[in-house]
Amino acid sequence: MNRRTFTRFLISGMVLIGLPLSAVAQESIKIGEINHYKRMAAFAEPYKKGIELAIEEVNAAGGVLGRPLEFIFRDDQGKPGEAVKIAEELISSEGVAMITGTILSNVGLAISSHAGEKEYVYLAAEPLADSIVWASGNKYTFRLRASTFMQAAMLAEQAAASGAKTYATIAPNYAYGKDAVAAFKKNLLALQPDAEFVTEQWPALFKIDAGAEVQAIERAKPDAIYNVTFGPDLAKFVREGTDRGLFEGRTVLGLLSGEPEYLDPLGDEAPEGWIVTGYPWYDISEGPGKVFVDAYQTRWNDYPRIGSLVGYMTVQSIQAALERAGSTETEAIRDAFEDLSLDTPVGQITFRSIDHQATSGAFVGRTALRDGKGIMVDWEYKDGADYLPSDTEVMQLRPAGQ
């Protein structure tokens, strides 16, 4: 036996794959959406529902450029290599107008690099890494959500106002955690030059040894703690920290900790009095934010998470860009995204032409308990435009000619 079988498999496999591609509808404008639907199901499902709600609204109102909008959802298993392959397929065989998606930053970076090389527009919806628009930014990549830097800057502002002098940080030991700590330090030291960082903890992602981390932070006796852990790590950290009295009398700042995805699993053990960024959908009582929450609850019989909001805004952004472009040509869409302004449930946002970052903001508030659930109180929506570095700095961060 030999390579004969191999070739047969290869060819029959390809014929199988090739078949459905030729039988597609002519009418709709197609958008490729690549995500880790299985690997990060808790985040991807609300995100997908947000997208679906928005598509239904767009198409009920007559679509975009007189054509219906259609998303092609594809699972990349959380592997950057797979995502690039799927992007290639969507662009070359499915004829999508542009690509969006991903939650994990590394997958986002892989698609972004591919988009720069093969020249198609990629809207990075959820990935937070600063490098997507800065160090590794390119002409064809845009980012919707408030980045790590922006959200960390919002918390640094709160920290500086708290009067704490010594800080401990705890962040998962990977790129997002490192970016988040670096951005927080930079912004805090600018606002409060005498701030001191007494310990930095770097638990492995999703493998936190919470008891040991809590002890190590306690030993450094900081005035304030800056937390970047999330998901199961956050749950373990909160539980051990509460048990061992780590948070008593300390200012605690939590990046993303107020997002329903992270706060809700904690139930009645959600920490109280943390200063966090998040999404208090339950207390948004008026305006377009309320309209979105109501529409989402009616459609899905479930409440929105931050991912739902991002998914909804992704479709809104794409719709606005397509309408401004007046066509589905890559260059037209790309040009349309630059300085594109649109109204979203959180207010007006603009995709900056200088670095392709949208000025989406974040909600900053304090955590509290209500009816056995963690919520955010005293929150305020902070406009992302106010938390970005100066234009000269941004120009230095971005590679020349992009």
Q: Is 239 in the site for other proteins (CB under 8 A)?
A: yes
Nearer to other proteins among residue 13 and residue 287 (C-beta): 13
Please give the residues from 116 up to 145 whose contact with other proteins meets the rule CB under 8 A.
116-117, 129, 131, 136
Q: Is 243 in the site for other proteins (CB under 8 A)?
A: yes
**In Å, how far from its chain's centre is CA 10?**
37
If residue 331 lies in a helix (H) or strand (E), which one and from where to where? helix 330-337
Binder among 68, 70, 232, 366 for other proteins (CB under 8 A): 232
Q: Which stretch binds other proteins (CB under 8 A): 145-153, 195-203, 363-371, 381-389?
A: 195-203
Q: Is 231 in the site for other proteins (CB under 8 A)?
A: yes
Helices assigned H by DSSP within 204-361: 210-220, 232-243, 260-263, 287-300, 306-325, 330-337
314: Cα within 13 Å, side-chain hemisphere = 35
Binder among 69, 97, 103, 110 for other proteins (CB under 8 A): 110
- Tokens at 43, concatenated: 């985040």
- CA-derived radius of gyration, the chain: 22
Nearer to other proteins among residue 97 and residue 210 (C-beta): 210
Q: Is 2 in the site for other proteins (CB under 8 A)?
A: yes
Least distance from C-beta 214 to other proteins, angstroms?
9
Nearer to other proteins among residue 43 and residue 387 (C-beta): 43
The amino acid that residue 142 corresponds to is: F
Binder among 175, 189, 377, 397 for other proteins (CB under 8 A): 175
Q: Which stretch binds other proteins (CB under 8 A): 85-93, 149-157, 294-302, 318-326?
A: 85-93
The amino acid that residue 99 corresponds to is: I
Q: Is 48 in the site for other proteins (CB under 8 A)?
A: no
For residues 115 and 88, the answer to whether their CB atoms sit within 8 Å is no
Place of tokens 């207010």: 347
Q: Which residues contact 236 (CB under 8 A, 6 or more apart)?
A: 208, 210
Q: Is 85 in the site for other proteins (CB under 8 A)?
A: yes
If residue 16 lies in a helix (H) or strand (E), which one and from where to where? helix 3-22
Binder among 62, 163, 267, 273 for other proteins (CB under 8 A): 267
Q: Is 299 in the site for other proteins (CB under 8 A)?
A: no
Q: Is 178 in the site for other proteins (CB under 8 A)?
A: yes
| Separation between Cα atoms, residue 395 and residue 147, nearest integer Å | 17
Q: Is 1 in the site for other proteins (CB under 8 A)?
A: yes
Least distance from C-beta 111 to other proteins, angstroms?
9
- Determine how β-strand 98-101 pairs with β-strand 141-143: unpaired
Helices assigned H by DSSP within 163-265: 175-191, 210-220, 232-243, 260-263
